[in-house]
Structure 1
């Protein structure tokens, strides 16, 4: 997200998407990303990369490191928990892929728990997410979804390079 995003939107009563539909959209992407993690062979999840890109384990940790403090910040305004070391490095992945999946599921549960705490007007508020990126809250949510899609696409390339058929990109069930 760029801090120069245009955040001045006209006030309107037209709703394009409900908070519930937005949550379901995000969770659909999370379900698909979880399938990607499951499909990766254990060793390649931690060690395979192409062209100097990070491993899928490292990409997954970026997604988890953003999602948990992100949903907490979105719901409460408390953005602690991300980038506090000042170097924006991401957590090391747990040693076993099953532990990564358990962490993924834990965060999915936290997203579901925090979501009802978001007041409808909060989606239009502008806030500096993670102390770095000023944008409307809905923009921050879209950023989290976009970031996940971007990194999941890298995983698709990895799986195809490994000769593994990835989950269908449209299957978010």
Structure 2
């Protein structure tokens, strides 16, 4: 897939993640279905941590452990601002990287992966944790957003 298409796809994934965040009442950001599971705020923080890990890895070839959530952002407003700003920054950085960054291979904690594969891994990770957040919403009696969002736009030429 072309670099621009990957970036566009991830932006679409993030837009739905932000819609999920919007559905959470502020008072429920500390909700967790069980003690051993992340809170809603920690789930969003983890999504961000993985994105930052990928961005740093692709720009600095630094592939240590994925950082644990720890930004300490627990408000909807704070998470929305951080998730939005960092994703815009990731898009900017990815657009500046040469195609070879996407085609080349990196030794990561997940094994030897292409840059493109690493980005897909991050997208899958975001979708996985967003799925957990869908369950949280349902447990609170809140209808999550529709899963399919704007896919027709992904294939339009820019």
The answer on whether the counterparts of 1:42 and 1:97 sit within 8 Å (CA) in structure 2 is: yes
Note if 1:69 corresponds to 2:53: yes
Structure with the bigger percentage of helix:
2
Using structure 2 for the length normalisation, give the TM-score. 0.84
Which residue among 164, 167, 170 is the counterpart of 2:142?
A: 164
Q: Once structures 1 and 2 are overlaid, which stretch shifts more, 46-55 or 93-102?
A: 46-55
Aligned to 2:128: 150
Which SS does the other structure have where 2:29 is aligned?
Answer: helix
List runs of 5+ in structure 2 lacking aligned partners: 152-158
The answer on whether the counterparts of 1:34 and 1:101 sit within 8 Å (CA) in structure 2 is: yes
Q: CA deviation at 1:108?
A: 1.3
Aligned to 1:79: 62
Q: CA deviation at 1:89?
A: 2.6
Which residue among 50, 54, 59 is the counterpart of 2:38?
A: 54
Which residue among 87, 98, 108 is the counterpart of 2:77?
A: 98
List runs of 5+ in structure 1 lacking aligned partners: 1-16
The answer on whether the counterparts of 2:41 and 2:75 sit within 8 Å (CA) in structure 1 is: no
Which SS does the other structure have where 1:46 is aligned?
Answer: coil
Give the 3 Å change call, closer, same or farther, for CA 111–92 of structure 1 in structure 2: closer
Aligned to 1:5: none
Note if 1:28 corresponds to 2:12: yes
- How many residue pairs were aligned? 150
Equivalents in 2 of 1:93, 1:32: separation in Å? 23
